[in-house]
Structure 1
Amino acid sequence: MEEYDAVVIGGGHNGLVAALYLLRAGWSVAVLERAGTVGGAVASGEVTLPGFVHDLYATNQNLFVASRAYADFGADLTRHGLRFRVCDRPFANAFPGGRSLRVYRGYERTLDGLAAHDAGDAEGFADLYRFYQRFAAHLFGFYGCGLPSAAAAREAARLLARQGVRGTGELVRTLLMSTRELGESRFATPEARAMAACWGMHLDFAPDIAGGAVFPILEMFSDMQTGMAVVEGGAQRLPEALAAAIAERGGTVRTGAEVDRVLCRNGRAAGVRTTDGTRVAARRAVIANVGPRALYERLLAPDLVPASVRRGAGGYRYGPGTLMLHLALDGPVPWAAGEELARFGYVHVAPYVDDLARTYTEAKAGLLPAEPLLVVGQTSAVDPGRAPASRHTLWVQVRAVPAEIRGDAAGVIRGTGWPEVAAPMAERVIAKLERYAPGVTGLVAAHAVHTPRDLEDANPNLVGGDNGAGSHHLTQNFLSRPFAGHRRHRTAVRGLYLTGAATWPGAGMNAASGRLAARQVLWDARRGVPRRARNPRRP
């Protein structure tokens, strides 16, 4: 039987990052991935026509570029072929009548465009940017800490020392806002309010859900400062580079190896068993890059899990589903708002806050939304090598849709199964895009649809097609992620740890969960659990 210091279940980016940190500390590590390739929700492929490379799921890599993991291992990843392309036009919103709002890589240029739209919007944007400048370092600091932890306590102390009770209270009040409240507190027009609210829908924050304001604040201004980054040549190259860096350090990455049981001895994780019966021993730790339901209901024997933990895992909630539409185009998108819009990384098509609220309510009720949010990723505008000369790839994330269909909000599409509904829903999406970009339908050379069911089949962590791998509402976030009492990546079984989007700090290509899980593993080993383990340095 093979034996390693640690075994990582799942080759998503957090699992791979955790493995790298353990290898750096001198551990032997094996990563076992069920799929034929590593990456999880970071993948790319030619799913429409040869020569058109599409990011199948995640595409915006800003969080990874800014991560501690990239700072620590960026040189290794670059050596293994990872490159980024950065767009200086990160995102925009398109509205009826050929209107748009645009955020550039640059404050003054962005503010000038908002002022031309409405002076009140420019004033509110400037005020919100000052807020971001005051608090961003603290917010990103908390995202890089385990919760609870001494590091988080020190960050809270720094916040109080620098901002005082009044400033800290202002931060807390703002972060508890819904995206509708955030927009109404700062912006004068429906267009600018929608610009903020669309970012909340990337997760599962409809306009009227408390706590939705934090992600739009961070995303709007970090994109404005840094632009939007995609992986040159396709998102798949990122996990491939991580896997190559693991192999270079002596680690093992095995694909097509699905784990069906965590093996325990004397109440402690001791290894794993794969579906073909192979057993792999873990002397010191097992790290599971899976959802809490999968861990406690499938991978662990029931008698090892206290009833309270089983209830907590069973109550883990998922947000609404996502539909991905990939288009191969014979030319750039002919936006009614002007040809420059075709050079932006993202274009949000909602159009307004009430439309977002209606869409979310319909999706949660099991209805196909009549007017879903379209997050239009113009990937080949950022990385021209993704498509043949003068042609383009288009990445359309449709938010939100139901995991299980009960009907159609528009009363047009018949059927309640995704296989039969996929084609007419794609037609609805393209028809909506046509209203904002007249002539785009005639440019579609081919398309591919990935339904919520397809997303879950490709990556079981995306239950119901939830691209965030679990709701981020306040009752399931911060100290309560994945659920109350389950903190700092430890589980109910000694030596078994949980990482991934279901753990703090949640979804996104930030690699923070993998780094924090590895740090917790090393810290526990350093304190003598188990005693025979070597004393690795803390990362």
Structure 2
Amino acid sequence: MTDSRGFRQDVYDAVVVGGGHNGLVAAAYLARAGRSVLVLERLGHTGGAAVSTRPFPGVEARLSRYSYLVSLLPSKIVRDLGLSFAVRKRGISSYTPAERDGRPTGLLVGGGEARTRESFRRLTGSDREYERWRAFYGTTAEVAAKVFPTLTEPLPSREELRARVGDEAAWRMLFEEPLGRTIEDRFDDDLVRGVVLTDGLIGTFADAHDPTLLQNRCFLYHVIGGGTGDWDVPVGGMGAFTDALAAAARGAGAEIATGHEAVRIDTDGTGRAEVAFRTAAGEGSVAARTVLVGASPRALAELLGETPPEPAPEGAQLKINMLLRRLPRLRDTSVDPREAFAGTFHIAEGYAALARAHAEAAAGELPSAPPSEIYCHSLTDPSVLGPELAARGHQTLTLFGLHAPARLFERDNTEAREVLLTATLAQLDAHLAEPLTDCLAMDDDGRPCIEAKTPLDLERDLRLPGGHIFHRDLSWPYAEEAGGTGRWGVETAHRNVLLCGAGAVRGGGVSGIPGHNAAMAALGR
């Protein structure tokens, strides 16, 4: 039976604020455990940043609009929740175009060990850099196999995780020394160094030698996913994952109310809270024994009427979505575009180029040679395209630009977006045998199928604070000595209010881990 608000309960065991993927994971676990659960979602749909949309009018192409690939999602969550969801491996890990001695070339990683070795040899003139690469990533793979399983366990202490890793050299390399030193000690080639560094910069504005080791934290999460570090393609797009989560939550008995924006949380700190919300029809409130918040720590503080944590988060990326009539031809004719774009296509990401771009952005200037990387979902999973588009050879491209902090867009977001978009595409065109614009599809209005999103756009569209895709700077996957993180890394100062979003300890990325851990914390009580 429902009340006048349409909800079935007077007091819910749990109210989840936010219907993004983490909130849905938490809701599904709690409902499967027999708890009464209500999810309040501000938007008219679930999924948050992990959605598939048709951004181009009249064009049947569903793009993973904000988040693209899956690495950190534990298979345990997929099994536990019985999700109808799958990922596909990419046959090529990455391709990085370059020019050496006046000729186009590049580094292809993937397609088998022999082929990768030959690509390193062709680029650097010997096998030495490849052997160092293999040794380095052999070490990170060993660390990944030991650390990744801990992400869905109670939060270990630093010393407990260190003992789990069991390799002092690896621990020092990843957890104690700046990533820049590690890279410079192990690799000589500027391009190889840059490719390694990029995993420390995704959504993170940091220098390779940043003494806070922010770049190390980002790098760690990018190489431990799944215990292998592989970044896989979600079949059907990212929206297929969150649709499966919503179905699992509803199937277990959770209620999901879209178009309901939580505006305040009042709690007695122990066993009862009131969540006030507003809808297009008016305002209301609902009671809960526990509240799980999938929004950022900053938004949580505002909901509680508390002072937001400092410093304010700042995103640092440009996101570009495209639909092409065909893949462009490359200046490097030794590689097929279908292979080059099948993995991560790095642009302007040499080690020195990344340092210059960071220095320019830190000085308040848009990078003159913006670094970025491109993913082609449709090469691995053509199901995101309508049958006619797929038959005609269309392909999706999504680009993630680095070193583009929100501060650069504050004076004039529209102008800065256009300037950076133009400069980013120019860096790509430098490695193509034809302009990318010649390959763009057109929408029903006759406009090119391309859109760009700055950090300020993400803040407006998704309420990401400062456009930060991780909600705040990533944390180490262990309890900090200062304390206050709780048994699961999701606890707050209020016993019955938990953080289940990306800003939790061990949050960030499309993982579901904060949602799982918040549910475990709630069930443990």
TM-score where L is the length of structure 1: 0.83
- Deviation of the 1:48 alpha carbon: 2.6
User: Which residue of the partner structure matches residue 294 of structure 1?
Assistant: 299
User: Which residue of the partner structure matches residue 94 of structure 1?
Assistant: 97
Secondary structure of the equivalent of 1:448? strand
Secondary structure of the equivalent of 1:236? helix
Matched, 1:246 2:254: no
Taking the aligned partners of 2:227 and 2:105, their CA distance within structure 1 comes to 20
Q: Show the 5 A alignment for 1:45-194.
A: 45-49=53-57, 50-64=59-73, 66-73=74-81, 76-78=82-84, 82-96=85-99, 97-104=103-110, 106-107=112-113, 109-117=115-123, 118-148=126-156, 156-159=162-165, 163=166, 167-168=167-168, 170-194=170-194
Q: Show the 5 A alignment for 1:388-467.
A: 388-389=389-390, 390-405=393-408, 416-439=411-434, 440-445=436-441, 446=448, 447-460=450-463, 462-467=464-469
Query: Per the alignment, do residues 219 and 267 of structure 1 end up closer, same or farther by CA in structure 2, a change over 3 Å counting?
Result: closer
Which stretch shows the higher mean deviation, 235-244 or 325-334? 325-334
Q: Show the 5 A alignment for 1:449-528.
A: 449-460=452-463, 462-472=464-474, 478-480=478-480, 485-487=484-486, 488-523=489-524, 525=525
The answer on whether the counterparts of 1:323 and 1:465 sit within 8 Å (CA) in structure 2 is no
Taking the aligned partners of 1:224 and 1:144, their CA distance within structure 2 comes to 13
Q: Where do 4+ consecutive residues of structure 1 move more than 6 Å?
A: 221-224
Secondary structure of the equivalent of 2:299? helix
- Deviation of the 1:456 alpha carbon: 0.8
The answer on whether the counterparts of 1:316 and 1:470 sit within 8 Å (CA) in structure 2 is no
Taking the aligned partners of 2:44 and 2:426, their CA distance within structure 1 comes to 35
User: Which residue of the partner structure matches residue 327 of structure 1?
Assistant: 322
- Deviation of the 1:516 alpha carbon: 1.1
Taking the aligned partners of 1:377 and 1:465, their CA distance within structure 2 comes to 21
User: Which residue of the partner structure matches residue 336 of structure 2?
Assistant: 339
Unaligned regions of 5+ residues in structure 1, if any?
303-309, 408-415, 526-539
* 2:264 corresponds to which of 261, 274, 277: 261
Query: Per the alignment, do residues 221 and 116 of structure 1 end up closer, same or farther by CA in structure 2, a change over 3 Å counting?
Result: farther
Secondary structure of the equivalent of 1:321? coil
The answer on whether the counterparts of 2:485 and 2:492 sit within 8 Å (CA) in structure 1 is yes
Q: CA RMSD in A?
A: 2.8
- Deviation of the 1:173 alpha carbon: 3.8
- Deviation of the 1:235 alpha carbon: 1.3
- Deviation of the 1:187 alpha carbon: 1.7
Letter in 2 for 1:62: S
Taking the aligned partners of 2:48 and 2:430, their CA distance within structure 1 comes to 34
Between the two proteins, the alignment pairs up a number of residues equal to: 487
The answer on whether the counterparts of 1:318 and 1:463 sit within 8 Å (CA) in structure 2 is yes
- Deviation of the 1:455 alpha carbon: 0.7
User: Which residue of the partner structure matches residue 6 of structure 2?
Assistant: none
Q: 1:43-97: per-residue Cα shift (whole Å, max 9, x none)?
A: 1212135122221111111222x44312322xx321xxx3433321132222234
Taking the aligned partners of 1:325 and 1:469, their CA distance within structure 2 comes to 20
- Deviation of the 1:339 alpha carbon: 2.0
Letter in 2 for 1:470: R
- Deviation of the 1:158 alpha carbon: 4.2
Identity %: 27
Letter in 2 for 1:280: V
The answer on whether the counterparts of 2:375 and 2:399 sit within 8 Å (CA) in structure 1 is yes
Letter in 2 for 1:397: F
Matched, 1:356 2:354: yes
The answer on whether the counterparts of 1:346 and 1:377 sit within 8 Å (CA) in structure 2 is yes
The answer on whether the counterparts of 2:223 and 2:230 sit within 8 Å (CA) in structure 1 is no
User: Which residue of the partner structure matches residue 532 of structure 1?
Assistant: none
Taking the aligned partners of 1:364 and 1:71, their CA distance within structure 2 comes to 44
- Higher helix fraction (1 or 2): 1
Secondary structure of the equivalent of 2:469? coil
Letter in 1 for 2:348: A
User: Which residue of the partner structure matches residue 528 of structure 1?
Assistant: none
Q: 1:223-246: per-residue Cα shift (whole Å, max 9, x none)?
A: 996854222232112111100111
- Deviation of the 1:128 alpha carbon: 1.1
Taking the aligned partners of 2:143 and 2:378, their CA distance within structure 1 comes to 34
Which stretch shows the higher mean deviation, 326-335 or 96-105? 96-105
Taking the aligned partners of 1:67 and 1:223, their CA distance within structure 2 comes to 8
Secondary structure of the equivalent of 1:52? coil
Query: Per the alignment, do residues 516 and 221 of structure 1 end up closer, same or farther by CA in structure 2, a change over 3 Å counting?
Result: closer
TM-score where L is the length of structure 2: 0.85
Secondary structure of the equivalent of 2:88? strand
Taking the aligned partners of 1:141 and 1:223, their CA distance within structure 2 comes to 8
Matched, 1:18 2:20: no
Taking the aligned partners of 2:483 and 2:403, their CA distance within structure 1 comes to 27
Query: Per the alignment, do residues 174 and 300 of structure 1 end up closer, same or farther by CA in structure 2, a change over 3 Å counting?
Result: closer
Q: 1:492-521: per-residue Cα shift (whole Å, max 9, x none)?
A: 122111121111113111221111111111
Letter in 1 for 2:329: P
Taking the aligned partners of 2:90 and 2:144, their CA distance within structure 1 comes to 22
